[in-house]
Structure 1
Amino acid sequence: MSEQKPMTYSAAGVDIDAGNELVNRIRSAVEATRRPEVLGGIGGFGGLVELPSGYNRPVMVAGTDGVGTKLRLAIETGQHSGIGADLVAMCANDVVVQGAEPLFFLDYYATGKLDIDTAQAVIEGIAAGCREAGAALLGGETAEMPGIYSGEDYDLAGFCVGIVERSELIEGTTISPGDALIALPSSGPHANGYSLIRRILDQHPNPQAEQVAGAPLLDLLLEPTRIYVGTVLDLLAKFPVKGLAHITGGGLPENLPRMLPASCSANLDGWQWPEIFHWLAKAGNIETSEMLRTFNCGVGFVICVKATDLEPALEHLNNNDIAAWQLGVITEYDNDHGTRLKIDGVAV
């Protein structure tokens, strides 16, 4: 009877040394996101953060999200750095909707076999996103899970925590008919609708060679989600903003009504969609109503202000190179038809 060879964790598919090497590689990128409130460094069992000073009644705001099947496109093209910024944006943009300043971010990276170069690119992208959002990359988890993930597959999740003074919390309760809506442009589909996008690409003869408005199609589809934190916090410091909405899965029809009180609806003016959305609609033979419920169609974030603050707010945004525009107005809720959102007078 032959003697059985000793078993090891590495032989089972988990390389502890690779995980340690990854931590060493990303250390400087993580340190670059540090905030004054952070205690200690990476490598502990938990991250430590003091509450910032100057708050009378601080409220913590937390959000978590992933990037959906946009990951598959990143894996298939080998373009991994932007997906990390997507992860931060999807979480931090939700947190700032309540008026909160992001404090820190945590990530979870899971894969079947750790590819250090890929993981480094992803996490450095996360760190870049954290720097833009002003959040410390407090820590994270890298998990090798052979048998759950295969090949080059990996998955991501993010967790963001912010803080806001209770009296400055944005809840949408003061929104009333006559208020104005401002649109902030998206950078593309962001991280929503990619199951449909991938179905379109599967049926397209040569997406790698496709150009849209003079740019490679795949580059446009992998453009990272815009991070609105700095823009929104700057605007909050200068104007009495009444409501905010991050336009993610479900598009404007699902997300804009989330900021409205029960007594209000929104009437939007039509706007010029970026060319990538026209291409998707044509290539997939997608009806306008389905486009609006699946994609942001060029509107990544919506801000509600008093009508008298509209022009000064737009001027401020435009002077800071934000191509914002008036998206529409708040109206009374239509009890007869139960309509919360119209575009050019048509319910969507």
Structure 2
Amino acid sequence: MIASMKAAPANPFAASPTLSFNKPDDTKLRRVICFSPAPLFSKLSLRGKGGVLAQMSKDGVGLTYKDAGVDIDAGSELVRRIAKMAPGIGGFGGLFPLGDSFLVAGTDGVGTKLKLAFETGIHDTIGIDLVAMSVNDIVTSGAKPLFFLDYFATSRLDVDLAEKVIKDIVDGCQQSDCALLGGETAEMPDFYAEGEYDLSGFAVGIVKNDSVIDGKNIVAGDVLIGLPSSGVHSNGFSLVRRVLAHSGLSLKDQLPGEAITLGETMMAPTVIYVKQVLDLISKGGVKGIAHITGGGFTDNIPRVFPKGLGAVIYKDSWNIPAVFKWIQEAGNVEDAEMRRTFNMGIGMVLVVSAEASDKILKDANGAYKAYRIGEVVSSEGVSYS
């Protein structure tokens, strides 16, 4: 963590079109100067806005992500428009050529899961979420994370609370074997509600040119291997909060049928898959990788396929965690909406050859959990059987 209370110097880079210098906005405790010769957008993060209202969807059939303030279709349309200005976007990470390698970069936040952190007082897991959302994206290209930067913004700096969050970011970096290189703390009175803060994270990794995982060699008959999630991870919380309000339960109540509270369940940190995925890649046969975040299986798996291919998912091939069953029942959420909003218990999907799938599943006994959840087919989209 790089910290400084010195006054900002005059901007020496004002005439340069490729360098940006952030002027102090109230109190800036850390500063980063970014060189950006050819910026590319790799994805769009969708965040809900506004408070939680206890009401069903307008058509009366159940709660939806759009009702909660997040319109995935609008986000997809924006990505299409950005693609006209910066061709090549759409992957989970942005690739930048560097000699015989590519630097792979990703950025994300933790969205409205922060609202639950404020309500529960659980701040010692949210930093892992922050790291996970970026490093899990860049590892889908086969990249090993090198370093991570964070941005912590708040109305009034609570040093003890910030220390908890940053300590957790350090933990996340250790889990992904990358360095916390620096970041910024911004204290902005009147901008955030008292006691609240926002987080963003930025990860950079590296992969050899001939080792990039890009999905180009995927063919019909390849196998989908799913790695289990720890729960909701860091997507869909605008809908989660809407369902929670509709249910009449509080975060202190137990998850029905389970010996854990709803708050503890929802705040379980996102799994960091980096070491496991890199190990599986080293065994050979991995052709494509999808990080299952906002958009669920429906939108994320097709992102790694060549044109004309799709997936069939075996519905009963893994155990769906109880939290998703509760969300669906309490919010009367339709199957298609659940599959497009949540990870449903699978946080990462690897597309592998049939031969490689046999080895991965055999090695999974005892060492880690992995499931054969589907196969690649000669028709676009994602279907279920």
Identity %: 46
SS of corresponding position for 1:211:
coil
In structure 2, the residue matched to 1:342 is: 383
C-alpha displacement at 1:84, in angstroms? 0.4
Map of 2:248 onto structure 1? 205
**Match of 1:147?**
190
1:177 pairs with 2:224:
no
Tell me what 1:221 maps to: 266
Give secondary structure in 2 for the equivalent of 1:267: strand
Tell which structure's C-alpha radius of gyration is larger.
1
CA deviation map 1:228-247 (0-9, x unaligned): 00100011111221110000
Determine if the alignment matches structure 1 residue 309 to structure 2 residue 356. Answer: yes
How far off its partner does 1:340 sit? Answer: 1.3
- Within the candidate set 299, 312, 322, 2:346 is matched to 299
Q: Secondary structure at the match of 1:76?
A: helix
Q: Structure 2 regions of 5+ residues with no counterpart?
A: 1-6, 8-24, 35-97
2:329 corresponding residue in structure 1:
282
CA pair 299-151 structure 1, distance change in 2 beyond 3 A? same
Equivalent residue letter for 2:323: I
Alpha-carbon deviations, 1:145-195, whole Å to 9, x = none? 112112111000000000000000000000001111100001001000100
Q: Which residue of 2 aligns with 1:245?
A: 290
Indicate the SS of the match to 1:329: strand
The residue matched to 1:209 in structure 2 has which SS? coil
Q: Deviations 1:95-153 (Å, cap 9, x if unpaired)?
A: 00000000000000000000111111111111100000111000010000112112111
Please give the root-mean-square deviation of Cα atoms over the aligned residues, in Å: 1.9
**Cα drift, residue 318 of structure 1:** 3.1
TM-score, normalised by the number of residues in structure 1? 0.81
**More helix by percentage:** 1
Q: Say how many residue pairs are matched.
A: 295
**2:52 aligned residue:** none
For residue 370 of structure 2, what is the aligned residue in structure 1? 324
What is the CA–CA distance in structure 1 between the aligned matches of 2:227 and 2:32, rounded to whole Å? 39
Aligned residues of 1:14 and 1:113 also touching (Cα < 8 A): no
1:125 corresponds to which of 159, 168, 174: 168
1:95 paired residue number = 138
Amino acid at match of 1:280: I
Provide closer, same or farther for how the CA distance between residues 242 and 45 of structure 1 changes in structure 2, counting only shifts above 3 A: closer
- Which residue of 1 is the match for residue 234 of structure 2? 191
Higher mean alpha-carbon deviation, 208-217 vs 89-98, is at 208-217
Consecutive unaligned residues of structure 1, counting only runs of 5 or more, are: 1-8, 20-42, 48-54, 334-338
Amino acid aligned to 1:225: T
SS of the residue corresponding to residue 155 of structure 1 reads: strand
Q: Is the 8 A contact 1:239 1:313 kept in 2?
A: no
In structure 1, distance between residues paired with 2:255 and 2:223 = 36
Q: Residue 36 of structure 1 corresponds to which residue in structure 2?
A: none
Residues 198 and 45 (structure 1), Cα distance of their counterparts in 2 relative to 1, 3 Å cut: closer
Q: Deviations over 1:279-315 (max 9, x none)?
A: 1101111111111111111110000111112111112
> Does 1:63 pair with 2:109?
no
- Aligned-partner SS, 1:198: helix
Cα distance, 1:15 vs structure 2 = 6.9
SS at match of 1:317: helix
CA positional deviation for 1:273: 1.1
- Shift in Å at residue 72 of structure 1? 0.5
1:178 match: secondary structure: coil
Question: Closer, same or farther in 2 for the Cα pair 1:211/1:240, shift >3 Å?
Answer: same
- Aligned equivalent of 1:156: 199
- Paired residue type of 1:342: S
